Amino acid sequence: MKLHLYDNWTRQLRLFEPLEPGRVGIYSCGPTVYDYQHIGNLRTYIFVDGLKRALRLNGYEVFHVMNITDVGHLTSDADEGEDKMEKGSRRTGKSAREIADLYTDVFRSDLKQLNITDPDVWCKATDHIPEQIAFIADIEKKGFTYKTADGIYFDTSKLNDYGHLARLDIEGLESGHRIDIGEKRRPTDFALWKFSRPDEHRQMEWDSPWGIGFPGWHIECSAMAQKYLGDYFDIHCGGEDHIPVHHTNEIAQTQARSGTRLANFWLHGFFLLQSGEKMAKSKGEFLRLQLLCDKGYDPLDYRYLCLTGHYRSQLSFNFDALLAAQTALNRLRSQVNSLGEPGAADPTYVDRFMAELNDDLNFPRALALAWDVLKSDLSAGAKKATLLKFDQGFGFGLESYHIEDEVIPEHIMRLAEARWQAKLARNFAESDRLRKQVQEGGYLIEDLADRYRVKRK
Ligand code: AMP
Ligand code: ZN
């Protein structure tokens, strides 16, 4: 089966073929670096990584561009509220540049810990101000913009299919809107450039043909995607919240400038939910990857959990589910580890695996297939090679994982140490009791000449 992906522009599962043979260009919207990313945000990057791995397994070379939003994203996603970066700066007492660098570094380290492959190009909005100004100037010349007291706006009435991606009901939006849209002509019109307010004292502002200010959030992605990938490339991704506003507006700007919808396929990862609602930085316990590590989880336990759900379904997070994922991943690791040297991968299972991935990235079924391989009557060497091949899609790092590298939980290490001391003191009853406790916790103690080693059972 050839690769089929669900494209939100056509709302269809479509056969994927790259525009340029053999090579796939991807743009995915990156983090707004005013704070840490929560594990919900990270689910979206795990989805994009799964897509890249599936494309590579299909023999394509992938060229991936990801932006860092370090200016212009307002607290409302639309044109109201404050710049998240300026707000984050006040919250932390650090400069906007300092927090951008800090949260970008943490984000990149999170990706590494999750075995997410880096994009080929990282691009920051603040490094591309001239490109954004040139973009706006171009669409201004073509008659798509107007000026208000607070900025330059895109006139969405100039496009006859504005809102197609989200199937927006434009008439309904226009007749029903009660919110104050200021001087905007229509609720769907959006800011391309905002003027700095005289009382604002912004840290990040630039001169422009329209006055001192800063770019809107959407223009950065259109300008940078076009710079690195051209007017029309293969796949654009982001989270589902990007469909009605951010991606809709990226498309509108690009249609105005170059007459294309920017990307051939539009893919969106669905939300991670916390207590039934979209996980958000402003709500509930702020779950960072580091917090999961502090509670004794491996970041890849979270990756496993994400692969148990399809990217086009919302996934509920709770610690019971994470514990189940940890148990499953540890079982997978130890079973793969015990298979010895790899032989030749089984072509039938590899074909079935590719069919699951090619069916709109069905990682949950691909994972189930991995367990079938372990239960099958293939030889140990064939099982090992087949699972290592699967892991090029899963990204659990099974090949480089060695049971000896495993981090043993602290309470087990304490019991093992107490048992060693009891043994040295020749208190054999106590030593046996403690050894049994370690075994009940799922671990074995191996005595060497002058020390001991703890291993998973
Ligand atoms: P932000 O840093 O807010 O710009 O978001 C970064 C990425 O995370 C975007 O692609 C969002 O669509 C995505 N995102 C935000 N919240 C969630 C969530 N609860 N689950 C999955 N993805 C999310
Ligand atoms: Zn974007």
CB 315 less than 6 A from any atom of ligand 1: no
Task: Read off the amino acid at residue 212.
Answer: I
Neighbours of ion ligand 2 (CB under 5 A): 29, 221
Q: How far apart are the first and last CA of the chain?
A: 40
What is the best residue among 28, 35, 44, 67 to mutate for testing ligand 1's pocket, by most ligand atoms within 8 Å of CB?
A: 44
The Cα-based distances of 359 to 11, 13, 347, 376 in angstroms read 15, 9, 18, 23
C-beta neighbour count of 394 within 10 angstroms? 23
**Dist CA 33 CA 449 (whole Å):** 52
Q: What angle do CA 226, 79, 225 make, to 5 degrees?
A: 10
C-beta neighbour count of 158 within 10 angstroms? 17
CB 29 less than 6 A from any atom of ligand 1: yes
Contacts of 347 (CB under 8 A, 6+ apart): none
Ligand 1 centre to CA of 148 (Å) is: 30
**pTM of the entire predicted model:** 0.89
Q: All domains of the chain, ordered by start, with CATH?
A: 16-269 (3.40.50.620), 311-405 (1.20.120.1910), 410-456 (no CATH)
**Dist CA 398 CA 396 (whole Å):** 5
Q: Is residue 83 a contact partner of residue 74, using CB atoms and an 8 Å limit? A: yes
Categorise residue 151: left if φ over 0, alpha if ψ from -120 to 50, beta otherwise. left
The Cα-based distances of 60 to 24, 51, 52, 126 in angstroms read 7, 11, 9, 32
CB 239 less than 6 A from any atom of ligand 1: yes
pLDDT tens, N- to C-terminus, the chain (457 residues) = 899 999 999 999 999 999 999 999 999 999 999 999 999 999 999 999 999 999 999 999 999 999 999 988 888 766 778 888 888 988 999 999 999 999 999 999 999 999 999 999 999 999 999 999 999 999 999 999 999 999 999 999 999 999 999 998 888 777 765 566 778 999 999 999 999 988 888 899 999 999 999 999 999 999 999 999 999 999 999 999 999 999 999 999 999 999 999 999 999 999 999 989 999 887 767 899 999 988 889 999 999 999 999 999 999 999 999 999 999 999 999 999 999 999 999 999 999 999 999 999 999 999 999 999 999 999 999 999 999 999 999 999 999 887 666 667 778 888 999 999 999 999 999 999 999 988 887 788 888 777 888 877 7
What is the best residue among 46, 73, 241, 279 to mutate for testing ligand 1's pocket, by most ligand atoms within 8 Å of CB?
A: 241
* Residue 396 host element (H or E): none
Ligand 1 centre to CA of 414 (Å) is: 40
